[in-house]
Structures are given as C-alpha cells and as structure tokens.
Amino acid sequence: MKLFIVESPTKAKSISKYLGKDWIVKATLGHIKDLPERSLGVDPKTLEPKYVWLKGKKKLVENIKKIAKNAQKIYLGTDPDREGEAIAYFLKEELSRVNGRIYRAMFYEITKNSILKAVQTAKDIDLNLVHAQFARRVLDRLIGYKLSPLLWKELTTKGLSVGRVQSPALRLIVEREKQIQSFKKKKYYYIKVDFEKDGVSFSAVFQQRFEKPSNAEPYLKKLKDTMFVVNAVKKEKSISDPPKPFNTASLQSEGSKKLNLSVSEIQKIAQKLYEEGYITYPRTDSYRMNQEKAQEFIAFIEKNYGKEYVGKLRNFREGRLSQSAHECIRPTSLRKKPKEGIELKLYLLISSRTLASLSSPAIIEKTYVSLNPITDEALEFFAEGEDLLFDGWMKIYGKEWEGKKLPELTQGDILKPKRIYIEERETQPPPRYTEGSLVKTLERLGIGRPSTYATIVKTLKQRGYVAVEKGHLKPTEIAFKVVDYLMEKFPSLMDYSFTANMEDMLDEIEEGRKDWKLITKEIYRKVLHEYTQE
DNA sequence: CAGTGAGCGAGCTTCCGCTTGACTT
C-alpha cells in the first residue's frame, strides 16, 4: 500500500480514482502548522519562528501517521507553490518519525497522466521554497503584531489593525474617497443637433465645448433655420476580442456585479460548485486551460453555434507574481450542471464565460460622419455610430449589444435638423470602489492571493474601516486617521509596490541566493526605519 | 482614619495564507 497526501479532500477523491486500489489518498485541509495566534511566535533576535499545530490538525496528522507506518512509499502532493512546500515540509517532519520513504510529488492539473507522472518524477522537498514561506510568514507576523499595537496607543482605539495587505488596500479606498471629496464638479455645454433619416434618428455635436451657455449662444443664432450637409463619411472595422476565462479575481468581480452578491458570497457558491464536481478549483490566478478540455468545448461551440463561432485557446501572459498551481475556473464537463437556484446561475456564468473565451471575436463597424451647416462651412459637427457586423463571443456570453447605428449617409446628403439646442453636462468624480473592483485592483497590484481576496474585504469591514453603501465601499473616519498615521510613519509599507518588492526578495530565497533570515530582517528594518529614527 | 500612590499581575485587541468540516446554539 502507498500513501498520497494532498491539501483538498475533493482533489483526494479524484486522485484516488486515478491511482487505484493499493493507494490511500489523504487530505490535510490546508496548512497543518502556523505561528501561535495569541503571541508573537517569532524570536525577536534570531527571527526563529515557532510553528504550532493548527486546531484539529494534530489529530488529523496522527491518523495519517498510522497509515504512513505501513506504507511502502509516501508521496506529498500538496500544491506546487511556496505554501504547499511548507505544508509538505511539516508533514515530512512528522511522518519521517514512522517512515523514511517520503517523496515530494508535483502536478499542475488533476488528470491521470499528470498524477502518474508526478509519482514517477517525485523528488525531495525544496528547502529554499520552505524558507521563503518562513520569510513571508514571519514578515507578515512582525508587521501585523508589532505595528497594530502602535495604532491602539496612538489612536486610543482597540481592535485596530495594520497589515502588509490590508493597509495598502485601505489606502486605495481612502485615497479614492479623498479624490471624490476634493473633486470640483464643473459644468460644460455643447451644441447638439438632432436629425432623422429613413426613420432613424441620430445626433451630431459641435466640435467645440463651452464653459458657459452664453458662449454658445452666438453660434446657435447662426444655425437658426439652416440646413446641414454631410461633408465626410468614414467607416472603420474594429475587432472586439473574446474575454479571458475566469480566475478568482475576475470571477469575484464579474459574479458580484452580475448576480448582485458580495465577493464572499460568490466565493462560497463557487466553493460549493467545486466540491460538487461542477467546476475546477476556485482559487487560482491562472488563465491556463487544459488542452483536451478546450478542444471539447470548441467542439461544443461548433455543434451548437456553428463553425463561424469557433475561436481558439489562447495563451495569456500570466502575471509575474502568478504561481500557477491551478488552471482557470471552468466547468469540469458541459454534460453536468446544477439543477436550479443561485448555484445554477453562477455555473452558467462560468460556463458561458469559458465558451466565450474559446469563441470568435465580434466584428464592429464604426462610422464617423462630419456635417456642416450649409450657411457656414467652417462650423463642423460630428456624429458617430456603431454597427455590429458579427456578434461572435457576445452571442455565447449573452452580452447585449449597446452600440447605436447611424442611418445610411453619403457625402453631399442634405439634412434638415429636427432640433438644435444646448446640452448641459457635468464632469464626474471617480467612483468609489465596489468589492469587485477593489479585488481586481489588488490583483493588478499583486497584493493578496486568490485564497484571501474575499477575506481582505471582510477584514476591512470587521475592523470598522469601511462600510458598504449602495454596493460601494466607503471608508469611515477612523480609516482616514489610520491611513494618515501609517502614511506618515511607515511610508514604505504603504507603498503599493511593497508586496511586489517583497516577492522579489522571496524569489531570491527560492533560488537559494539569499538567507531568509537576513532578508526578512532587512525588509522589516526598512519598514521600521523612519519610525525608529525619532 | 482616610486618601494617595507605587508596584504588580491579569487580561488584552493584532497578521497572511492554505483548506473545509466539526462544533455549538
């Protein structure tokens, strides 16, 4: 009998099928050890971390140990990334007491081939990766547990928190709010002319905007009772490429927008769909898709929509920080879907997005028309229209076409205006973040991981830093104070590229070029630098 | 005798990242 260990019980089930009878597959349910919650858990001098059992995990590992005792070989198949390597490390530390034949198996998708290959090519644990996890963990702990108490004292409020991820996230929200507060709305005016031709109405606007309606009046007088002539018509084809398939960030933002739910609710439903076998792993930063599956989906498109709707599997550049242990989020099969309710709705969003990503581009024709009043050629008016020549992926994704088509116009056409008037508009402040747009921004900046996006939002709410108002995130007064304080005392931590810089350092540890304790100390000192100078 | 203050100990918030099931109400 051989033993295979993974993180997720759902994965354990599928892998168990591939490996067959003389294998036992067990799941750790994520990390098994972590720093203690109620103390720092890091020696301030040596930076030596004190990892302790997570709740319930001692018992779980003891059970695995009993099986390990009698196993011919033990394969550690935790996720092929920094965190997964750390889990494997602690597993080995425990299991090697009863059995020395322990190997590290790496796989990037759950298919029979890749699992068998992982077993054949299994090697030893990569200590560099483990040390990078220590560095990441210790740094996050030091920042969180050393800086938070400074806030309690400074702002005499208990329960406030500072973190490598949450504090820059809060800064985004607070800075947006400041922009909104200082935004001065400005009115502006333009001259608009309504026409109608062949029963289709359209409008043209004057080349110039005005700050005051009185500035537009003289022009308006000139235009009284005049006819217009079409001076030029330009047509341009443009291509609208299909969207990428979903990863966690885009599923959370698109899902919460379309189904009107919070990002945590979306994540919860996705997790359920995953456990019930409807979709692939829901915590991923990757857009990769299994080749054979993509072929299967493309065949489905051809059969149900026709050849002209078939696109191709594209290779997307993964973000530099992407650790890519999993594929994109897609249906496991198109033959199996949930029966009803919100689960079905999210499933259908995922399946249509997946198919759309593999279908053909939409083709749009843009028309630009310029017109003059017959009485004055120097006054130019512009009209624009869009026509959908081919819907492509939009049909499959169910995206409604919003473009407006112009009537057929040719140079020299004479038109009688239906109405000439001044329209008032106002410049708009930038919008507040929604949960979804915040998650997308965090992903773009490389702040946080797919497994934590939803919790980041939750933490900011729990700390009383943000409130949800009409679906948008509004910072509270204490949030302003916290961000102002941190910006003054710890500017390098609040820099949006802090995480990216930290990742660079972790890369060096992973490649074995730097000692993890030295680097961790260096970064932490840099964060504290300005503060301790006083 | 009442009020004051020093000294001491107990009880305390907090991080990010990996994963769900086993608890209680």
Rounded CA–C1' distance between A158 and B6, in angstroms: 27
Rounded CA–C1' distance between A497 and B9, in angstroms: 43
Edge-to-edge strand order for the sheet containing A200-210? A414-415, A228-240, A362-373, A381-390, A200-210, A187-197, A419-426
CATH (domain of A80): 3.40.50.140
Closest CA to A378 of A206, A194, A192: A206
Helix axes A453-462, A263-275, angle to 10 degrees: 140
**pLDDT the model gives residue A316:** 85
Rounded CA–C1' distance between A288 and B22, in angstroms: 35
CATH (domain of A275): 1.10.290.10
Residue A219 annotated as catalytic: no
Does residue A161 share a domain with residue A290? no
Does residue A264 share a domain with residue A404? no
CATH (domain of A203): 2.70.20.10
Does residue A117 share a domain with residue A8? yes
Does residue A412 share a domain with residue A523? no
Does residue A440 share a domain with residue A385? no
How many domains does the structure of chain A reveal? 4
* pLDDT digits 0-9 by tens, A126-166: 999 999 999 999 999 999 999 999 999 999 898 999 999 99
Does residue A111 share a domain with residue A72? yes
Q: State which nucleotides on strand B lie below 7 Å from a protein beta carbon.
A: 13-22
Strands A466-469 and A362-373: unpaired
- Enter the tokens of residue A462: 């729990």
Strands A102-104 and A187-197: unpaired
Does residue A279 share a domain with residue A208? no
SS3 state at A440: helix
SS3 state at A368: strand
Rounded CA–C1' distance between A59 and B1, in angstroms: 62
Domain limits for position A292? 248-357
Q: Which one of A378, A393, A426 terminates a domain?
A: A426
Closest CA to A459 of A482, A487, A492, A425: A482
- Enter the tokens of residue A136: 């990441």
How many Å apart are CA A477 and CA A287, to the nearest integer?
Answer: 39
Q: Give A495's contacts (C-beta < 8 A, 6+ positions apart).
A: A168, A501
Query: What is chain A's Cα-based Rg?
Result: 29
Instruction: Render each residue's pLDDT in chain A as its tens digit; 534 residues.
Output: 999 999 999 999 999 999 989 999 999 999 999 999 999 999 988 999 999 999 999 999 999 999 999 999 999 999 999 999 999 999 999 999 999 999 999 998 888 998 999 999 999 999 999 999 999 999 999 999 999 999 999 998 989 999 999 999 999 999 999 999 999 999 999 999 999 999 999 999 998 899 999 898 888 888 888 899 999 999 999 999 999 999 999 999 999 999 999 999 999 999 999 989 899 999 999 999 999 999 999 999 999 999 999 999 998 876 554 446 689 999 999 998 998 899 999 999 999 999 999 999 999 999 999 999 998 888 999 999 999 999 999 999 999 999 999 999 999 999 999 999 999 999 999 999 999 999 999 999 999 999 999 999 999 999 999 999 999 999 999 999 999 999 999 999 999 999 999 999 999 999 999 999 999 999 999 998 877 665
Q: Which one of A374, A406, A426 terminates a domain?
A: A426
Identify the residue whose Cα has the smallest distance to the C1' of B11: A38
- Enter the tokens of residue A245: 């398939």
Does residue A101 share a domain with residue A7? yes
Phi, psi of A439 (to 5 degrees): -60, -45
CATH (domain of A513): 1.10.460.10
Does residue A314 share a domain with residue A221? no
* pLDDT digits 0-9 by tens, A206-216: 988 999 998 98
Identify the residue whose Cα has the smallest distance to the C1' of B13: A159
Residue A125 near residue A495 (C-beta atoms within 8 A):
no
Q: Which amino acid, A497?
A: S
How many Å apart are CA A356 and CA A337, to the nearest integer?
Answer: 18
Nucleotide nearest to A12 (CA to C1'): B19
How many Å apart are CA A332 and CA A505, to the nearest integer?
Answer: 37
Angle formed at CA A489 by CA A487 and CA A495, multiple of 5 degrees: 40
Does residue A289 share a domain with residue A191? no
Does residue A253 share a domain with residue A351? yes
Rounded CA–C1' distance between A308 and B1, in angstroms: 101
A314-334 burial, b at 16+ Cβ within 10 Å, e below that, comes to eeeeebebbbebbbbbbbbeb
Nucleotide nearest to A11 (CA to C1'): B19
Residue A456 near residue A448 (C-beta atoms within 8 A):
yes
Q: Which one of A323, A338, A357 terminates a domain?
A: A357
Residue ranges of alpha helices (H) inside A384-515 are: 393-397, 435-445, 453-462, 477-489, 491-494, 498-510
**pLDDT the model gives residue A111:** 85
How many Å apart are CA A256 and CA A265, to the nearest integer?
Answer: 8
Does residue A103 share a domain with residue A85? yes
Nucleotide nearest to A137 (CA to C1'): B16
Closest CA to A330 of A275, A274, A386, A378: A274
Q: Which residue out of A103, A281, A287, A347 is catalytically annotated?
A: A281
Q: Which residue has the tokens 């606007």?
A: A205
